[in-house]
Structures are given as C-alpha cells and as structure tokens.
Amino acid sequence: GAGVSQSPRYKVAKRGQDVALRCDPISGHVSLFWYQQALGQGPEFLTYFQNEAQLDKSGLPSDRFFAERPEGSVSTLKIQRTQQEDSAVYLCASSPGGNEQFFGPGTRLTVL
C-alpha cells in the first residue's frame, strides 16, 4: 500500500499485560513519529525517529513506554505493564524529511 499502515487496528489488554504496536511507514520516509490520542482530545507527541535514531522521546509518559526502529523502517511501540490510563488511540506518522507528516489509521488500545 501507498500509505502508513498500523497493526493491530484494535487491541484489548488486561491491566498489567505488555503490548506491542506496529507501524509501517511510507517507503523511503526518513522520519517517523508516534502520537497518543485520548478520547475527545487532540493527538499528543510521544517520540520521533530519524532513520533508526530516536532523536526525541520527551513525550513518552513513563518508562513503561518504549519505542524502536532498528532498521530505519518499521517501528514498534511497546507498553509494559499496561494501565487503564494507557487506553487511547496510538497514531503513527511518517515524513520524507520535509514538513508534512502522513498519518496511519491508528491502533485503538483498550486496557481493562
């Protein structure tokens, strides 16, 4: 496909479980971003990669959140010991290096 894809689209986890969310950016896009969108809110920045380097992780809410992009393409956002407040839509975006970001459909995480 030509756009950003994310999987799974929906994830239900029991409190305390670990989850992994995947993002496939547009081919050739250098930059990759993760955002968290709580219900009724705008997306909030989590972390940013340029190729495989994580240049900014200031938005990650706690040390339970970890993101990687080992080969500069696919990225995984991992949340350990999930809590109810982690319930949100997690959006991934990629950019060719310019100003415009292209978003995926998101993964809706529900923690019970």
Positions in the binding site for other proteins (CB under 8 A): 4, 31, 33, 35, 40-45, 48, 55-56, 91, 93, 95, 99-106, 108
Q: Please state the closest distance from residue 21 (CB atom) to other proteins, in A.
A: 13
Of residues 27 and 99, the one with the C-beta less far from other proteins: 99
88, amino acid identity: A
Of residues 5 and 73, the one with the C-beta less far from other proteins: 5
- Whole-angstrom Cα distance, residue 86 to residue 110? 8
Q: What is the DSSP letter of 58?
A: T
Q: What is the DSSP string of 46-80?
A: EEEEETTEEEE-TT--STTEEEE-TTSS-EEEEES
Of residues 80 and 96, the one with the C-beta less far from other proteins: 96
